[in-house]
A = this chain, B = another copy of it.
Amino acid sequence: MQSITTSTYAVHFNQRAYDALNVHLSNKAYSKIFILVDENTHEHCLPSFMGQIQGDYNFEIIEIESGEENKNIDTCTGVWEALSELDGDRKSLVINLGGGVLTDLGGFVASTFKRGIDFINIPTTLLSMVDASVGGKTGVDLGPLKNQIGVINQPEMVLIVTSFLKTLEERQLRSGFAEMLKHGLIQNKAYWEALKEVTNFLYIDDLIYDSVVIKNEVVLQDPTEQHLRKILNYGHTLGHAIESYFLESKTHKTLLHGEAIGIGMILEAYLSKELLGLSDTELADIKSTFLSLYEKVSFSKEDITTILSLLKFDKKNSHGNINFVLISAIGKPDIDIIIPDELYENAFAYYAEQ
């Protein structure tokens, strides 16, 4: 597969990815190379990764605990301290080998260590391949508030090695697939239709490639999220609030990111029908597609009240308004839509109905 060029770096795929990395390492003469892993990528991805490195470099492995609940400043402090103790300097490199939690956190740690050192992202989950590989967003959560702390900063390169997907559980793959479906909904109906045909998430290299292309085109047109880039938040305004709520809740099981934004996309499709005239047929198509992939969740009245109160912390807000991305048809987004309060409960009711 061809490499994809973003604003400042390239996304390379599979064997080409390792080739590009080997060239980069031999050109750059880093003083030290840190590989950030979690317990899963340490065991399942690091050995095959190391087998592809040509040349003799000064590697140090730093392991963090996996999981969104560890995507916080305390974990960053642990990594900053490890970098200091292992003599990391301004000419060191950090390679982030893991899912979105790890690449977001590792990108933030590298961007702020000694006011910024080079980093390379190697997303190992489907979600992070199609979502975190372009855009330069880095960051961590502050309590229940997702990505509240972070910076926009670009990696030296992103490497997508699709064989890492074999190390994932089916539920993880399914979760990542939700972001690909989102790319269809906001940009390309034909792509949405193609995704609906997928039966095995391990044979979708071309569709992964297309997703990165779609996201890259959006980000290139609006790198600082003034207007067009906001469309990537489709499903995320309510989805993030739902994800945060389930993460903190003692009685609900945790939802994966894709599962939460899948619900968000159904709810926001309902709002799209009410406010932008999305057709009943497309609304029903969206609902049935997500419900065929992701188990339905039940929300009590209290759940809904708390989720709506979390909404006001969403970082896309300004001046107290909550700005939604909605779609007037599949592939046709519109931004900065304000939702009348009484519609939220109807959206949850639509999600719940048979």
A interface residue numbers (CB < 8 A to B): 31, 73, 76-77, 80-81, 84, 87, 89-91, 108, 111-116, 137-139, 142-143, 145, 147-152, 312-313, 315-320
Contacts and interface: CB of A to CB of B under 8 A. Distances in A.
Contacts of A145: 84
Q: Give this chain's copy count.
A: 2
Nearest to A112: B149
Given A87-B312, A319-B91, A151 B80 contact: no
B315 A143 contact: no
B89 A151 contact: no
A131 to B, nearest CB: 16
A333 to B, nearest CB: 20
Contacts of A87: 312, 320
Contact of A319 (B31, B76, B313): B31
B148 A89 contact: no
B319 A84 contact: no
B315 A90 contact: yes
Given A31-B320, A90-B317, A115-B315, 5 more contacts: A81-B142, A90-B318, A91-B319, A112-B149, A115-B138
Question: A-B pairs with the 4 shortest C-beta distances?
Answer: A91-B318, A31-B319, A114-B315, A115-B150
A289 to B, nearest CB: 31
Contacts of A139: 112, 115
A178 B122 CA distance: 46
Contact of A149 (B113, B315, B320): B113
Nearest to A138: B115
Contacts of A313: 84
A59 to B, nearest CB: 16
A161 B315 CA distance: 34
Contacts of A111: 151
Contacts of A73: 73, 76-77
Contacts of A89: 315, 317-320
A80 B31 contact: no
